[in-house]
Amino acid sequence: MGTGELKVPRGTFDVLPEDALKRRELQRRTWAVLGRGGYRPFESPAFEDTELFERGVGESTDIVRKEMFTFEDQGGRSLTLRPEGTAPVCRAYVEHGMHKLPQPVKLWYWGPFFRHERAQAGRYRQFSQIGCEALGSDEPSLDAESVLLLAELLEAAGVRGATLKIASLGTREGREAYLEELRGYLHDHEADLSQDVRDRIASNPLRAFDAGHEGTRTVMAGAPRLLDRLAPEDAEHFAEVRALLDDAGLAYVVDPTLVRGLDYYTRTVFEFESDKLGAQSGVGGGGRYDGLVEELGGPRTPGVGWAAGIERILLASETRWPAAPRPVFVAIDDGGNRREAFRLVTLLREAGVRSEMEQAGRSLKGQMKHASRAEARAVAIVGQEMHWRDMDTGEQRPVTGIQEAVRIAVGLAT
């Protein structure tokens, strides 16, 4: 179409000015909400050693098995475009010795992530996430805080009516006995299960809970529930988190079948869903990952956090995002001096006035039309004489020179 064959790669997109402004505003609100919670900004590289994700995210996950953009650098090292942000944060926690800082360490990030999947509504190969992580404490209040901050962020972003689902997966050790029981149950009903679920009975039996497959669903309806088998400490922890959410007045549904697709989750898991997104209904979700830092070679360190999809937030948002500020326009009439007009624009900008001038060879009428479309508040007409025209009232007044023109414009802005 148009000039040629070059297009953005599949599953990626350009952010045009209109959307860029919304993103900017969303980031501003994110900064405010998470900053109030004591979270500080953090950035990590767009790619990392492949091993970080293999070990952190888990070999049995779809992400590691088939969705990573992995490549070799010129030194033969295997690198991977980051598919998620929690493992990198944990890597940084260990690398920079953050366990020596006052705990918990609270960080948030914003940026691009990459997963090689077929794109569809709300799902891209390069997408953006806001993430929030708190490491170094297993206090239930940290779980509750994390959930509440995501709820507050969604609220601030104009995402209304999202439903919150929560569950607990117990600890890794505490979960083992249950997993054995579940594997036994799955083997007993193997004939009715989907191939995919059968393949993962050994590696990741929990996955069976969120299968769409008809037969699998009926089998799972009668399956033993992890929530009913939690170790006493885990059950207590979960009850405490729920109590805190109740106190905060945040509505949620306990969903025993909620299973997240990453291996590192322990205890609390949660997810916000919106019905405005099509099939990919999750706007954001996360949970606790008490074993991850240790898995990556650090000290035994608990952690909780979440990630939310920026594109999905914007899709689900009902906010009327603020419009771009109105500029002032400098038009040139017959007999006008271009250099004088340019100088006026320069001075206006120095004085803090957003201003533009004629730069496309338009007629005066064309310039006025353009200024009108650009929603200019006022137009300076530089001809034999100089005038300021108020574009809302149509009122037009002569100006003695550039200095006075700047003074008037500065006055308009306030």
Partner RNA sequence: GUGGGCGUAGCUCAGCUGGUAGAGCUCCUGGUUGUGGUCCAGGCGGUCGCGGGUUCGAGUCCCGUCGCUCACCCCA
**Least gap, CB of 77 to RNA (angstroms):** 25
Of 61 and 171, the one with the shorter C-beta distance to RNA is 61
Q: Is 6 in the site for RNA (CB under 7 A)?
A: no
Q: Is 75 in the site for RNA (CB under 7 A)?
A: no
Angle at 22 between CA 21 and CA 24, to 5 degrees: 65
Q: Which stretch binds RNA (CB under 7 A): 20-28, 36-44, 181-189, 253-261?
A: 253-261
Of 278 and 297, the one with the shorter C-beta distance to RNA is 278
| Candidate list 115, 165, 175, 242; residue touching RNA; CB under 7 A | 115
Q: Is 211 in the site for RNA (CB under 7 A)?
A: yes
Q: Is 401 in the site for RNA (CB under 7 A)?
A: no
**Least gap, CB of 315 to RNA (angstroms):** 9
Q: Is 348 in the site for RNA (CB under 7 A)?
A: no
- By DSSP bridging, strand 253-254 and strand 163-168 are parallel
**Residues 109/85, Cβ–Cβ less than 8 Å:** yes
Paired residues of 81 in beta bridges: 47
Cβ-count burial 75-103 (b if 16+ within 10 Å, e if not): eeeebbbbbbbbbbbbbbbbeeebbeeee
Q: Is 391 in the site for RNA (CB under 7 A)?
A: yes
Name, in order, each residue with C-beta under 8 angstroms of 311's C-beta and a sequence gap of 6 or more. 122, 124, 127, 128
**Token pair for residue 181?**
């029981």
Q: Is 262 in the site for RNA (CB under 7 A)?
A: yes
What proportions of the chain, in percent to the nearest 5, are helix, strand and coil?
40, 20, 40
| Candidate list 198, 225, 354, 370; residue touching RNA; CB under 7 A | 370
> How many alpha carbons fall within 13 Å on the CB side of residue 6?
2
Of 117 and 356, the one with the shorter C-beta distance to RNA is 117
Q: What's the DSSP call for residue 33?
A: H
* Residues near RNA (CB under 7 A): 1-2, 7, 9-11, 13, 61-63, 84, 115, 117-124, 127, 129, 196, 207, 210-213, 259-262, 271, 278-286, 307-309, 311-312, 333, 360-366, 368-373, 379, 381, 387, 389, 391-392, 394, 396
